[in-house]
Structure 1
Amino acid sequence: MEINDLTPAEARVWRAFATGTAVDFRAADDEDPAEGGTWGPERTVRASVLRALLLDGPRADGEVAALSLAGARVTGPLELAYATVDHPVRLRHCHFDDVPRLYAARLREVNLSESVLPGLISHAVRVDGVLRLTRARFGGMVRLGGAEITGSLYLESTEIHAPDTEGPVLQLNQAVLGADLWAPGLRARGTVRLDGARVAGTVNLTDAVLDRPDGTALQAETLAAEADVLMRHAEVRGRLEFRGARIPGRLDLSQARLVNPGGTALRASSCVIGELWLRQCPTVEGTLNLRRSQVEVLFVEPEVVPHWVQLNDLTYTSLVPHEPAERRLPMLERGDSYLPFIYEQLTASYRRIGDDDAARLVQLAKQRRHRRTLPWYGRVWGLLQDAAVGYGFRPLRAGGWLLSLLAVGSVAYGLRHPPPLKPAESPDFNPVFYTLDLLLPVISFGQESAFAPEGWYQYLGYVLIVMGWILATTVVAGVTRTVSRQ
């Protein structure tokens, strides 16, 4: 392209390129690039001119050529598909009439911060440096699927609103980032896709607003982040999908609001996570799915847990903050079926910190939940064990029953002695030891065989014998269960 074919604005950009000099067409720093469609020729640059500069622009000895432009209206599509560009590209505060096409291009540093664009086609792009889209506004899809960025991708306070888009509005699936995905304050109306992405640093979505009601707001299946995934103070309307993710640091959802009524709000199943934080949040609206995941530290406050949870095969080493078992147990009752494993996990977490009372309470709750799955006769027997000795976890309760029955029998038979079977050979009657003879099936004090009660006293004797057998059986069953568990 000859410089004679250029407008005055384009000629200014052309001359500045050789030395990397910045060109700023803005009349004021607070100009809104969204109004760039009204900007005149004095600040309009054709995309074809920018393409010619980047591919074969002038050079100056001893200088680093670079495209550094601000406050311009860029007309026509910037076509750099498959191109190799060795110069930094900085197009800040610009207004693009058409979608830039950077498919499979190889670029150096790219900066489109504070610009307004109808979209971005840059899947399979390689950027040897950083890609900055800070505070940019997109009216269509941002395609970065399969991108390879040796540095960080900056999406801080970026807005993506693509009302006519059926697919994801931000595609980062299978992208490879050599540093961070830095996107605090990101605003996206539609699905953000991170499936299979690999991030060598941190994924920062603090204060992000991801809006995809009745759909998936963040699709991050098999995401691999080498550090943390931060979503503090985020607001997510739609499904948050992390199935199969690998996050050795934190998945931090502190003070986040997750809303997907009638569907899954958070799915972090089959994941390997160092720490999962759900704290200081409003109650999750939707299902919480943590099935088959491995978590070292599970930081979940009871009031955050929604009505419906899926925890089968979830393993965790520590559960914090430390809460009484009564506050943790409702979380285990909210699943769709009885799952012994989740009770064992909670029991183990309490035993690990030495809270044996809480561990026993969890085991008692497990037996009671199991009882509801049994046929009627199993439930009756379970109720007897529960009432008698709390399934072996309340052994002192058996002593209370024994003392109560002993007091009843002693008073009843003390007021009316049963007649002896053989008056000449019978020992002196003792109401206490006579009642013990009836209650204790394997111990005999010689009282029961020497006296025969009559009338309702005889029926009282039958009741004491039956209650004695029930107590003995439940005590043995409970003790056996406790010993085998230890």
Structure 2
Amino acid sequence: MEIASLTPAERRVRWAFPRGETVDFSRPGDDAQHGGSWDPERTVRAHVLRTLLLRGEAAEGEIAALRVTGARVTGTLNLHNADVPYAIRFHACHFEAELMLYGADIRQLSLSRSYFPGLEGTALNVARIVHMSGCRVPGRLRLGGARLAGALFLDGAHLGDENAPQEGVLELNHTTVENDVVATDLVVHGETLLDGATISGSLTLNDAVLRYPGETALNAQTLAIGSDLHARKMEAAGRVNLRGARVQGQLNLAYARLSNPGGMALRATSVVAGELWLRRTAPIEGTVTLRRSQFDMLFVTPEVWPESVQLDGLTYGILNPRLPAHERLEVLEREDDGYVPYNYEQLAAAYRRIGDDDAARTVLLAKQRRRRGTLRWPLKLWGYLQDATVGYGYRPMRAAAWLVTLMLIGSVAYGLHHPAPLKPGEAPAFNPVFYTLDLLLPIIDFGQEKAYKPENAYQWLSYSLIVTGWILATTIAAGITRALSRQ
């Protein structure tokens, strides 16, 4: 590189590079987004920077690095498949053309608060931290298949065009990050892609705004996170797709706003996570599906759920906050697939784990009532009878109440009008209470029923008590069988 061919600004950069010093062209009130009008005194050509990175050498006893602040870079910085053993730091700089970093091997990369039309970084390899905090990118930021040994910072970045959102604005498909991804206050107008990405640390999307209305705002299928996924107060206008994601710790959507009216707002099928937090999340607009997902703890209140849910196969250990069963049951009525027995069993199991057997029985009774609606009329009739008598076995006190009531009716009726003995002189002394119990209880025999014969209306009363007794005995036996099978 001939020094005579360099501008004064470029000479400053060339002089600082071997020593790793920062060249600061910034001025008060700078906005990198509008840096296209900056004067020549702060303008550097991209091919000069490329030559320094590929051919430059460190000064003796120094660590070379390219560190520039507040510069305007003209032309395309093309490091396609380049091996750059130096740190690159552009702070609050304006790039006129897309950065070409495809397949490059770079020591460290920082573009914080800079403006660039786009970045092609597919298969990029960075040995240390990648800083893009506060950057402005109206086009696409592609880092698909990249390998980042340090953390990735996208906090405060604004990506995409608000007036023309498009797919793949932020692309991290199959990217490997061996530390955290910090994207607090990130704004993306278009699709964010994290399909198949692996993040060893945590992913932070707190206060992020992801907008792609009617389309997929966040596509993170089979995402693997070694720690937590924090998305507190995240706003997503469009589908959030987490199918098959694996999160070792929390999947935290507390205070978030998820909206995709008329479509799928949250698709989290086959997800495995330690905890799913929907604490004080705004009512979700659009369908939510959690089919076949597994959580050790699920925190959600009924008002968060939309009118359409898909929960078949959802497994959770603890359900918080602790609420009465009837508040949780209302959500199961919104199931798109209609009656799903598994949903009721899972909810009942959650109540049993915390020792609330009454709530568990309430859930299982609701399950039988919901099932009744799917049966043909003879079985429906039998179901109504079981429900009215013993609550399908989950309300055993009803059977006792029926028995006591019928025993009182029979005892009073036969006490006022004794039936005639079949064999006068041989019959035992008549007892209206034990005679009624003989009629009601099909197994017990006190010798009263066989010794006396009622007539007229009292005979029909005896028939009614016998039939009712058999029905009660059958329904009680069915309830006991269900209870034992659950144990």
TM-score range, shorter chain: over 0.9
- Check the 8 A contact 2:244/2:270 in 1, yes or no: yes
Question: Which region of structure 1 is more displaced relative to structure 2, 334-343 or 213-222?
Answer: 334-343
- Check the 8 A contact 2:253/2:278 in 1, yes or no: yes
| Cα distance in 2 for residues equivalent to 1:256 and 1:22 | 40
Q: Which one-letter code corresponds to 2:441 in the other structure?
A: L
Q: Deviation of residue 97 (structure 1)?
A: 1.2
Residue 285 of structure 2 corresponds to 285
For 1:425-457, what per-residue CA distance to the aligned partner results, in whole angstroms no more than 9, with x for missing partners? 555544333333332223344444454444444
Instruction: Spell out the pairing of 1:69-468 with structure 2 (5 A cutoff).
Output: 69-162=68-161, 163-164=163-164, 166-335=166-335, 336-420=337-421, 428-468=429-469
Give secondary structure in 1 for the equivalent of 2:84.
Answer: coil
Q: Deviation of residue 461 (structure 1)?
A: 3.0
> For residues 14 and 108 of structure 1, do their structure 2 counterparts lie closer, same or farther at Cα, with a shift above 3 Å needed?
same
Q: Deviation of residue 189 (structure 1)?
A: 1.0
- Check the 8 A contact 2:36/2:94 in 1, yes or no: yes
Question: Which region of structure 1 is more displaced relative to structure 2, 11-20 or 132-141?
Answer: 11-20
Residue 469 of structure 1 corresponds to 470
Aligned length: 485
- Check the 8 A contact 2:174/2:197 in 1, yes or no: yes
For 1:226-258, what per-residue CA distance to the aligned partner results, in whole angstroms no more than 9, with x for missing partners? 111110111111111111111111111111111
Give secondary structure in 2 for the equivalent of 1:80.
Answer: coil
Q: Which one-letter code corresponds to 2:265 in the other structure?
A: A
Q: Deviation of residue 369 (structure 1)?
A: 2.1
- Check the 8 A contact 1:207/1:234 in 2, yes or no: yes
Q: Deviation of residue 62 (structure 1)?
A: 1.7
- Check the 8 A contact 2:47/2:75 in 1, yes or no: yes
| Cα distance in 1 for residues equivalent to 2:136 and 2:124 | 20
Q: Deviation of residue 58 (structure 1)?
A: 5.3
Give secondary structure in 2 for the equivalent of 1:88.
Answer: strand
Q: Which one-letter code corresponds to 1:351 in the other structure?
A: R
| Cα distance in 1 for residues equivalent to 2:63 and 2:441 | 99
Percent of residue pairs bearing the same amino acid type: 55
Question: Which region of structure 1 is more displaced relative to structure 2, 122-131 or 357-366?
Answer: 357-366
- Check the 8 A contact 1:113/1:132 in 2, yes or no: yes
Give secondary structure in 2 for the equivalent of 1:247.
Answer: strand
- Check the 8 A contact 2:206/2:232 in 1, yes or no: yes
Q: Deviation of residue 66 (structure 1)?
A: 1.5
- Check the 8 A contact 1:141/1:165 in 2, yes or no: no
- Check the 8 A contact 2:411/2:433 in 1, yes or no: yes
Give secondary structure in 2 for the equivalent of 1:85.
Answer: strand
Q: Which one-letter code corresponds to 1:8 in the other structure?
A: P
Q: Deviation of residue 168 (structure 1)?
A: 1.2
Q: Which runs of 4+ in 1 moved over 6 A?
A: none
- Check the 8 A contact 2:277/2:300 in 1, yes or no: yes
| Cα distance in 2 for residues equivalent to 1:438 and 1:178 | 77
| Cα distance in 1 for residues equivalent to 2:170 and 2:310 | 29
> For residues 325 and 165 of structure 1, do their structure 2 counterparts lie closer, same or farther at Cα, with a shift above 3 Å needed?
closer
| Cα distance in 2 for residues equivalent to 1:451 and 1:314 | 60
Residue 59 of structure 2 corresponds to 60
Give secondary structure in 1 for the equivalent of 2:41.
Answer: helix
- Check the 8 A contact 1:213/1:260 in 2, yes or no: yes
Q: Deviation of residue 303 (structure 1)?
A: 2.7
| Cα distance in 1 for residues equivalent to 2:458 and 2:269 | 63
- Check the 8 A contact 1:229/1:252 in 2, yes or no: yes
| Cα distance in 2 for residues equivalent to 1:441 and 1:286 | 55
Q: Deviation of residue 419 (structure 1)?
A: 4.8
| Cα distance in 2 for residues equivalent to 1:226 and 1:239 | 24
Report the TM-score, using the length of structure 1 for normalisation: 0.94
For 1:135-170, what per-residue CA distance to the aligned partner results, in whole angstroms no more than 9, with x for missing partners? 001100100001111101100011112354642100
Residue 17 of structure 1 corresponds to 17
Structure 1 runs not aligned, ≥5 long: none
Structure 2 runs not aligned, ≥5 long: none
- Check the 8 A contact 1:140/1:165 in 2, yes or no: no
Report the TM-score, using the length of structure 2 for normalisation: 0.94
Q: Which one-letter code corresponds to 1:152 in the other structure?
A: A
- Check the 8 A contact 2:165/2:189 in 1, yes or no: no
| Cα distance in 2 for residues equivalent to 1:391 and 1:299 | 30
For 1:73-117, what per-residue CA distance to the aligned partner results, in whole angstroms no more than 9, with x for missing partners? 111111111111111111111111111111111111111100111
Give secondary structure in 1 for the equivalent of 2:167.
Answer: coil
